[in-house]
Amino acid sequence: MAAAAVARAVLFSAARRRLCGFTERLLIGGAAGRSLYFGGNRLRSTQAAAQVVLNVPETRVTCLANGLRVASEDSGLATCTVGLWIDAGSRYENEKNNGTAHFLEHMAFKGTKKRSQLDLELEIENMGAHLNAYTSREQTVYYAKAFSKDLPRAVEILADIIQNSTLGEAEIERERGVILREMQEVETNLQEVVFDYLHATAYQNTALGRTILGPTENIKSINRKDLVDYITTHYKGPRIVLAAAGGVSHDELLELAKFHFGESLSTHKGEIPALPPCKFTGSEIRVRDDKMPLAHLAVAVEAVGWAHPDTICLMVANTLIGNWDRSFGGGMNLSSKLAQLTCHGNLCHSFQSFNTSYTDTGLWGIYMVCEPATVADMLHVVQKEWMRLCTSVTESEVARAKNLLKTNMLLQLDGSTPICEDIGRQMLCYNRRIPIPELEARIDAVNSEIIREVCTKYIYDKSPAVAAVGPIEQLPDFNQICSNMRWLHD
């Protein structure tokens, strides 16, 4: 049972990993670093008052001598989530070692110098805890959910698995088969397939264009040296955040961090490895298969990184487009104008807008599932709606989208695990956690004029990336799609 539980956690991490990229995350643009203080105590008292009104616990941050950051929020719960957020994902790989970060995530649960795999699984099960990990294109995460009283053991286990994993040859060989099966599962999920194709064409010949799992030939050839090299290069103090939420004492967490990480995670010798540049290319990938019942299509333009000031506006624009599924029902009173048109014209089975951001770039677009005969009509309506965002979106629509975005933002921070994830990600991106009142103020500052201006900047007359799979004979050619990014007539 114990082995099955941990194995399931590892296997499910792939689907969860991609959903993290696909879903609207709560990192909001702005310069990384400490907040500025004007007028001394007056602004501090205003911030304190806002926290009292909202009853939001403070996020405390401390940096160790080796650069590792410790960040926590104590909400006094009986349970907690604690994890390590590491600034290292598939983007730091090259063509030859693509897949190493994900392979390493799998190996974390296969035993350490202190614990065998069975010992690790039994200890976690006996605590009533959960241990999990996932890899994205820019981050690797290891985290545990446990009773608050078990925080010291949870931190010790996390420290053990990232610093003392045995990476045994037998376990490496066994895990190859697990990852190859995971790849087969991924290939049956057409949404994931389309998004991998979208990245491959949008960021062709760059690190973001490669998949997280890596190609089959790499999985078959990755060896212990590759895994050790990746750890010694990237798992360094300045690139790691120990984040915790729930019933967590920051002082206790800080002492645990000093004890388990203070001496072991050295800083980089020389400069931190530079983030590989990834250039966006307007282009397409089509995989036509007329035997498939439905066409799966993603269209995206280049957006911005998390810290860019236009991120908030693009998030509001993303909410304006919205999402819809046939199971929702509805009609002319749906909040999304595109959903109204889609529902009324029976143009697709579902669509979902997305705003996926990375450090210095991003993809803003839409994913849709259509009948073969309605692909062209659906794309026409989508691009027409995009043009409307650039030219004539109304103030009332923007106000409704802002309210929906704020609601979704707060609803996602429900429980210690999503809060811990929010802390970890924001610390890596900004070196601080942006307070909720600040997020809401930035959203409130957006109006219809700003939306039109920002959407014109990133959408109008821009060459998109297109990925399409299935019966796509009716999909317009790429030149036609590009010309429709300028203006559309009925």
User: Percent of the chain scored above 70 by pLDDT?
Assistant: 86
Binned at pLDDT 50, 70 and 90, residue 271 comes out as: low
C-alpha–C-alpha distance, residues 100 and 140, integer Å: 11
| pLDDT of 124 | 96
Cα→Cα distances 124→10, 34, 88, 134, 153, Å: 14, 37, 26, 18, 9
The pTM of this model reads 0.87
Closest of 348, 349, 373 to residue 473, by C-alpha: 373
Closest of 390, 387, 379, 362 to residue 466, by C-alpha: 379
DSSP letters, 209-252, are: GS-SS--HHHHHH--HHHHHHHHHHH--GGGEEEEEEES--HHH
DSSP letters, 177-215, are: HHHHHHHHHHHH-HHHHHHHHHHHHHTTTSGGGS-SS--
| pLDDT of 52 | 42
Residue 403, C-beta contacts closer than 8 angstroms, at least 6 positions apart? none
What single-letter DSSP state applies at residue 413? -
Closest of 158, 455, 416, 170 to residue 314, by C-alpha: 455
Residue 363, C-beta contacts closer than 8 angstroms, at least 6 positions apart? 198, 199, 202, 300, 301, 302, 303, 354, 355, 356, 465
Cα→Cα distances 363→118, 208, 417, 456, Å: 42, 11, 26, 15
| Average pLDDT score over residue span 301-326 | 95
Binned at pLDDT 50, 70 and 90, residue 45 comes out as: very low
What single-letter DSSP state applies at residue 411? H
CA 241-156-239 angle, to 5 degrees, is 20
Residue, of 425 and 19, whose pLDDT is higher: 425
pLDDT at 346 over 50: yes
Neighbours of 265 (CB within 10 A): 21
| Average pLDDT score over residue span 267-287 | 84
| pLDDT of 328 | 81
Task: Yes or no: say if 240 and 86 are a contact pair by the CB < 8 Å rule.
Answer: yes
**Domains, the chain:** 56-262 (3.30.830.10), 284-484 (3.30.830.10)
For 82: left if phi > 0, alpha if psi spans -120 to 50, otherwise beta; the answer is beta
Which single residue is written with the structure tokens 């990237």? 234
Residue 139, C-beta contacts closer than 8 angstroms, at least 6 positions apart? 85, 86, 87, 88, 89, 425, 428
Helix axis angle, 375-391 relative to 448-458, nearest 10°? Answer: 120
Average per-residue pLDDT for the chain: 88
| pLDDT of 269 | 60
Which single residue is written with the structure tokens 């446990």? 146
pLDDT at 331 over 90: no
Binned at pLDDT 50, 70 and 90, residue 335 comes out as: confident
Closest of 375, 328, 365, 372 to residue 459, by C-alpha: 365
Positions marked active-site: 105
pLDDT at 407 over 90: yes
Taken in order 270, 240, 15, 309, the sign of the CA dihedral is negative
C-alpha–C-alpha distance, residues 337 and 396, integer Å: 12
Task: Yes or no: say if 141 and 94 are a contact pair by the CB < 8 Å rule.
Answer: no
| pLDDT of 345 | 87
C-alpha–C-alpha distance, residues 362 and 14, integer Å: 20
| pLDDT of 488 | 53
Look up residue 259 and give its two tokens. Answer: 């004890």
Residue, of 35 and 24, whose pLDDT is higher: 24
| Average pLDDT score over residue span 47-65 | 71
Binned at pLDDT 50, 70 and 90, residue 117 comes out as: very high
C-alpha–C-alpha distance, residues 288 and 292, integer Å: 9
Residue 160, C-beta contacts closer than 8 angstroms, at least 6 positions apart? 112, 114, 115
Integer-rounded Cα Rg, in Å, for the chain is 23
| pLDDT of 98 | 96
pLDDT digits (tens, 9 = 90+) for 192-207: 999 999 999 999 999 9
Look up residue 290 and give its two tokens. Answer: 């007329």
Per-residue b or e along 36-68, where b marks 16 or more CB atoms closer than 10 Å to that residue's CB = eeeeeeeeeeeeeebeeeeeeeebbbbebebbb
| φ, ψ (nearest 5 deg) of residue 301 | -110, 165
